[in-house]
Amino acid sequence: MRRAQQLGRYHLLDRIAFGGMAEIYRARTFDAHGTPHLVAVKRVLAHLAEDDDFIQMLIDEAKIASVLRHGNIARVYEFARAHGEYFIAMEHVDGKDMRTVLERCRTKKKPIPAEHAGYIAAEIGAALHAAHSAVDSRGRPLRIIHRDVSPSNIICSYAGEVKLCDFGIAKATLSRVSTKTGVIKGKVKYMSPEQALGRKLDHRSDVFSLGSCLYEMLTRIPPFTATNEMDLLIKVRDAKYRPVSELTPGIPIELEQITDRCLTRSRANRYQTAAEAEGDLRVFLRKYMPNYSRSHLGRFIRKMFATEIERELRMLEEYVMADDVSEDVGESLMIKDEDFEPPEVPFQPKPTSVSIIAAREASAGEARDDFSGDSNFTTMPKVEQREDIHQQNTVILESGRGRSAPPTSPPPGRGKGPTKPPPPPPARAPTRGQAPPVKPIYDDDLHSAPTMIIDIGRMKRGRS
C-alpha cells in the first residue's frame, strides 16, 4: 500500500508527468456527498513558487481559465496554496495526451487514421472557438488565447473524449522557463510565425498551432523541425513545410487543404476563426466516415494503451489516505474582486457528507454541472453516483475497467503496514507568508501583450 500525500482538498496519488513548471499528479478528493473523484493536481516547482510575478501570472491565467466551461476544455477548479505549496486543481482526463500517442505511433510505425486526426482536430477547434469567443458576465469579450496548442496539451480520454488543457498558462510559463533547454524547443515547434517573432497575438495564432498538431497527426512528424532552437524559430517564422501528401501519400485531399489553411503564414489568409476550421473538419468527417463517433477514438486509444490502462488501475488501488486527514483546505488564490466571482470548489478532503441540505440542493439540480465534462469515472468506483451528472462521460471500458477501487476512506486501524510514499512528493517548506496582490481579471494588457520569449537581437546577431 502507498500512502497518499494530502495537499489541500486533494490526496496526491501517482505522478503522471513532470513538466517545465510543475509536477502533475492524479489525486483523489470527495464531493459533498462523500463520493470520491479523481482530479489532476499540478504542483508548481519549488524554484518557481518563489517567483512572485510568476505566481501572479498563474493566478491571473487560472482565473480566466476557470470561467471556461466546455466539453472539450479540461476544467480548472482552483489555484490555491496549501502546506506551502502552490497548485492548480483541474479536471483529470483519463487517457493519454497526443504527444504520447504520437510517440507510440512513431515507435510502432503506425499512422493515426485520417478519421481520428480529423475528429481530434475538430474537437480542439471547438474548444478554441469557445475560448476565443468567451465573454464575461457583462458580455465583454475575454479575448482568451491559448498560446500553447500543442500535442502535450491535447488529451484523448479512453472513452474517446478530446480535451484541451492549460489555457493561458503558457504565457506565464513561457516567460519563465525559457532558459530551460528543451522546454521552449518543445513549445516553439507548435508556435505561430507571429508568436515566433514575438509579435502581438490574436486568436488566429491558436488556429495556426492547431494546424501544426493536425499536420503531425497526419504525417507523424511536426511541420517544423531543426537541430537547434534558432533554426527552429526561423523555420516557424517562414512557415514552410513539406506537403502532407508527400509524407503520407493517399491522405484525403480535404484534410491536406484544411491543414494548409491553418498553417498559412499570413493571418489574413488563414481560417479566421477556429470554428471555420472545425466546420470544414466536420464536413470532411461526415463525408469520409459518416458513422464516426467518439467511441471509435476511444477504442483506438484503449487498444494502443491496454497495458498502461491496467497499470493505472492497479496503481489507484494501491493508495490509501493518510490516517490523519487535515481539514486544512489551503487558501484559494483566485480571490473575488469586482470583476471576478471565483467558482465554488466542489470538493472536500474527507469522504463525508457535508450536510443533508447541500446534498439535497445538489440532487435538486443546483450543483448539477459540478462535474459535467469530467471523465474521471472510468477509474473510480461506482458508488452512489448521480446518474444525471455522469452519464455523458461514464464509459466502462471492456474487461477490467469496471473494477472498483479499494475503499477510499481510511478504515480505522488500517494503514500502519509497510507503506511506500508516493513517487516523490516531498513536502516543501512554505516559501512565503503572503499571497501576491490580486489584480482585476480584465487586465487589458494581459492578453494583448506579445509573447516575448525570443531575444530578437540575439536572433539577428546569430544569423549575421
Ligand X SMILES: Nc1ncnc2c1ncn2[C@@H]1O[C@H](COP(=O)(O)OP(=O)(O)O)[C@@H](O)[C@H]1O
Q: What is the binding site for ligand X (CB under 6 A)?
A: 16-17, 19-20, 22, 24, 40, 74, 90-93, 97, 99, 152-153, 155, 165-166
Q: Which residue has the cell 475528429?
A: 119
Shorter beta-carbon distance to Mg ion: residue 114 or 170 = 170
Q: Which does 93 bind (CB under 5 to 8 A by kind): ligand X, Mg ion, none?
A: ligand X
Coil, strand or helix: which one is 11?
A: strand
| Residue 16 contact among Mg ion, ligand X, none, beta carbon within 5 to 8 Å by kind | ligand X
Query: Within 10 Å of residue 307's Cβ, how many Cβ atoms?
Result: 8
Sign of the Cα torsion 427, 431, 435, 436 reads negative
CB nearer to ligand X: pick between 36 and 410: 36
| Residue sitting closest to Mg ion (CB) | 166
Q: Which is nearer to Mg ion, 17 or 306 (CB)?
A: 17
Distance CA 346, CA 31 (A): 6
Told to judge if 370 belongs to the known catalytic residues of this protein, a careful annotator would answer no
Closer Cβ to Mg ion, 170 or 380, answer by number: 170
* Partner in contact with 22, chosen from Mg ion, ligand X, none, beta carbon below 5 to 8 Å by kind: ligand X
354 binds, among ligand X, Mg ion, none (CB under 5 to 8 A by kind): none
State the binding partner of 201 from ligand X, Mg ion, none, CB within 5 to 8 A by kind. Answer: none
- Report DSSP state, residue 223: S
Q: What is the DSSP string of 144-181?
A: ---S---GGGEEEETTS-EEE--TTHHHHHHHHSTTST
Residue 405 DSSP label: P
Amino acid code (one letter) for 144: I
State yes or no: residue 166 binds Mg ion (CB under 5 A): yes
Q: Please tell me the distance from the alpha carbon of residue 167 to that of residue 171, in angstroms, as a whole number.
A: 9
Structure-block grid coordinates of residue 296: 471509435
Q: Residue 140 corresponds to which cell in the numbers above?
A: 465583454
What is the number of the residue whose Cβ is closest to ligand X? 19
CA distance 386 to 370: 11
Q: What residue 161 binds from Mg ion, ligand X, none (CB within 5 to 8 A, per partner kind)?
A: none
Angle between helices 169-176 and 52-66 (to 10 degrees): 160
Q: Which does 17 bind (CB under 5 to 8 A by kind): Mg ion, ligand X, none?
A: ligand X
Q: How far apart are CA 361 and CA 288, in angstroms?
A: 46
Comparing CB distances to Mg ion, the nearer of 165 and 255 is 165
Beta strand pairing call for 319-320 and 2-3: parallel
Least separation in angstroms between CB 306 and ligand X = 18
184/367 with CB nearer Mg ion: 184
Q: How far is the CB of 453 from ligand X (least distance, A)?
A: 14
In Å, what is the CA distance from 415 to each residue of 225, 322, 323, 406?
51, 8, 7, 13
The count of residues interacting with Mg ion (CB under 5 A) is 2
31 binds, among ligand X, Mg ion, none (CB under 5 to 8 A by kind): none
**23 makes contact with Mg ion (CB under 5 A):** no
For residue 5, the tally of other CB atoms under 10 A from its CB is: 22
Q: Write out the E strands in 69-112.
A: 76-82, 85-91, 95-97
In sequence order, what are the residues at sequence separation of 6 or more whose Cβ sits closer than 8 angstroms to the Cβ of residue 220?
A: 102, 105, 106, 111, 112, 247
Q: Which residues are CB-neighbours of 10 under 8 A, at least 6 positions away?
A: 27, 28, 29, 39, 41, 87, 89, 347, 349
- Shortest CB 22 distance to ligand X, Å: 5
Taking the complex as a whole, the smallest distance from the CB of residue 147 to ligand X amounts, in Å, to 12
Catalytic residue (choose from 60, 97, 148, 166)? 148
Binding flag, residue 60, Mg ion (CB under 5 A): no
The least distance separating ligand X from the CB of residue 444, rounded to whole angstroms, comes to 27
Give min distance, CB of 265 to ligand X, in A. 25
Taking CB under 5 A as the binding criterion, the range among 153-161, 196-204, 257-265, 320-328 that sits at the site for Mg ion is: 153-161
Decide if residue 31 touches Mg ion (CB under 5 A).
no
Minimal distance, residue 192 CB to Mg ion, in Å: 18
Residue from 153, 212, 393, 408 in contact with Mg ion (CB under 5 A):
153
Is residue 150 within the footprint of Mg ion (CB under 5 A)? no
Residue closer to Mg ion by CB (options 130, 174) is: 174
Nearer to ligand X, 217 or 285 (CB): 217
- What are the catalytic residues? 148
Q: What residues make contact with Mg ion under the rule CB under 5 A? A: 153, 166
